[in-house]
Structure 1
Amino acid sequence: MVTTETANPAAKMRTRDVSIYYGSKLAIDSVSIDIQTDFVTAFIGPSGCGKSTFLRSLNRMNDTIPSARVEGTIELDGEDIYASGMDVVQLRARVGMVFQKPNPFPKTIFENIAYGPRIHGLAEGKAELDAIVEKSLRRAGLWEEVKDRLDDSGTALSGGQQQRLCIARAIAVDPEVILMDEPCSALDPIATAKIEELIHELRGRYAIVIVTHSMQQAARVSQRTAFFHLGKMVEYGDTSQIFTTPREERTKDYITGRYG
């Protein structure tokens, strides 16, 4: 039995009976979850359990895989994101993605941030664009480190700085949801701590969903946790409850390290 919360009209995103296939292979089996702006939601589970596949469905990133097929309903503010009239480019501006490996554009630090606002028409002139770049870098905790080198290449930054640059790039287009797919797995402990601190600071401003292999990280940064196993969401609830008194035996076995 999957633990879910009662339907919350304030949910930013809502999925109902979502199944995802790669060809004939079922990767995600009938997942229903509400994602709220007030909380950081963590997806945990063993490798290959489907958590990243499900995360990618929330901004239609699976559209890039020809064999992928999504069934069920995924809504953003009550609107079906898989409806035929949905503008996918606009959707991905509203629901940003930060990937496992930092992927700055081969452009300057400034242009990495300015690119999205420019193509979405969010700035009317250079002064507005400058302001967006500074605000985004400040929110990502990177401004003081790069303000004197905005013309340097984004790829010249350290791995942790590159990841914060990618978060700033996602923030720059004024998203409503930020999806993070193991954003710290390639980073050292110090850079990881900075990203976790940043997630705390961004909480409440955006709905944040993070996929993580680290149960310690999920416990530190999230208020809601969903445990995935073999393509199913086994349990979902308050992070403290999931880690201390899980209702499902499979959750307990995973939390206590009996498999992983």
Structure 2
Amino acid sequence: MTVVHPNLEVTDAKIRARDVSVFYGAKKAIDEVSIDIPSKYVTAFIGPSGCGKSTFLRALNRMNDTIPSARVEGTIELDGEDIYTSGMDVVQLRARVGMVFQKPNPFPKTIYENIAYGPRIHGLAEGKAELDAIVERSLKRAGLWNEVKDRLTDSGTALSGGQQQRLCIARAIAVDPEVILMDEPCSALDPIATAKIEELIDELRGNYAIVIVTHSMQQAARVSQRTAFFHLGNMVEYGRTSDIFTNPLEERTKDYITGRYG
């Protein structure tokens, strides 16, 4: 049973999940999670390792489909449409709900091609000039343009770790997503690169619904406006980030935040 803070109002839910369970074979990794994720906010999923937060995140754009033993029950709606219906175009869904992974994973292509790839396969550009404009705009939004504008033909894998992660964010936003999912996007980065990614998340949130899984409670407190605490496959508590950190209603949340376990 999830405790939802009474002063939490989500009137503009981008994603609505109801009674979502995720199984890997016979093992239940997520147990009947229900949550409304708002537009134009950052929602953080926190909790100890192995509590199911990344599994639930991956259910939001059907990334678990790539795992043969995975099964999802319940409903997840994007703008009122169930994403698990058989008629759902999963490629199109993942363009609308982009994903940034824990380890930066640029394609082994040029910086330009990393960004141009998505818009090209989704038919978002009608010619080279339009594609150039999308690449420039995406890199600017990811705070990377000034660092790479003279080396767009270099390999994306030649960039530093922090630059690679911003390249992956630029790649995600190049196809005009509505939601960006981030699975511990800073865990492989140094503090300076982490600060840049956090600034970027703050700048982007007005345009997208952003969901971030993080092990760092300090990061959750800095970048998010909504926080959900997961424990042993359950979503224990959900509320405004300020309330979760200063006035948690559940003992388990309080114990985790004060460092008694985790």
Q: What TM-score, normalized to structure 2?
A: 0.98
| Unaligned ranges ≥5, structure 1 | none
Question: Are residue 232 (structure 1) and residue 227 (structure 2) matched?
Answer: no
Does structure 2 retain, via aligned residues, the 8 Å contact 1:4–1:33? no
Whole-angstrom CA distance in 2 between matches of 1:73 and 1:225: 21
CA offset at residue 130 of structure 1?
0.2
Does structure 1 retain, via aligned residues, the 8 Å contact 2:144–2:166? yes
Partner of 1:181: 183
Does structure 2 retain, via aligned residues, the 8 Å contact 1:7–1:34? no
Whole-angstrom CA distance in 1 between matches of 2:192 and 2:224: 19
Whole-angstrom CA distance in 1 between matches of 2:180 and 2:167: 14
Q: Work out which of the residue numbers 25, 29, 32 in structure 1 matches 2:31.
A: 29
Question: Are residue 52 (structure 1) and residue 54 (structure 2) matched?
Answer: yes
Partner of 1:93: 95
SS in 2 for 1:12: strand
Amino acid aligned to 2:204: L
| Unaligned ranges ≥5, structure 2 | none
Partner of 1:4: 4
Q: When the two structures are aligned, how many residues end up with a matched partner?
A: 260
SS in 2 for 1:26: strand
Match runs of 1:1-260 below 5 Å: 1-4=1-4, 8-260=10-262
Q: What TM-score, normalized to structure 1?
A: 0.98
Does structure 1 retain, via aligned residues, the 8 Å contact 2:11–2:38? no
Amino acid aligned to 2:2: V
Whole-angstrom CA distance in 2 between matches of 1:142 and 1:204: 19
Whole-angstrom CA distance in 1 between matches of 2:90 and 2:196: 31
CA offset at residue 8 of structure 1?
4.1
Whole-angstrom CA distance in 1 between matches of 2:239 and 2:227: 6
Amino acid aligned to 1:219: A
Q: How far does the alpha carbon of each residue in 1:199-254 deviate from its partner, in whole angstroms, 9 at most, with x for none?
A: 00001200000000000000000000000000000000000000011000000000
Amino acid aligned to 1:44: I
CA offset at residue 38 of structure 1?
2.3
Whole-angstrom CA distance in 2 between matches of 1:236 and 1:7: 11
Whole-angstrom CA distance in 1 between matches of 2:145 and 2:33: 39
What is the percent sequence identity of the aligned residues? Answer: 87
Amino acid aligned to 1:96: G
Amino acid aligned to 2:24: Y
Whole-angstrom CA distance in 1 between matches of 2:196 and 2:95: 24
Whole-angstrom CA distance in 2 between matches of 1:194 and 1:66: 36
Q: How far does the alpha carbon of each residue in 1:163-195 deviate from its partner, in whole angstroms, 9 at most, with x for none?
A: 000000000000000000000000000000000
Instruction: Provide the alpha-carbon RMSD of the alignment.
Output: 1.0
Amino acid aligned to 1:89: V
Whole-angstrom CA distance in 2 between matches of 1:243 and 1:190: 25
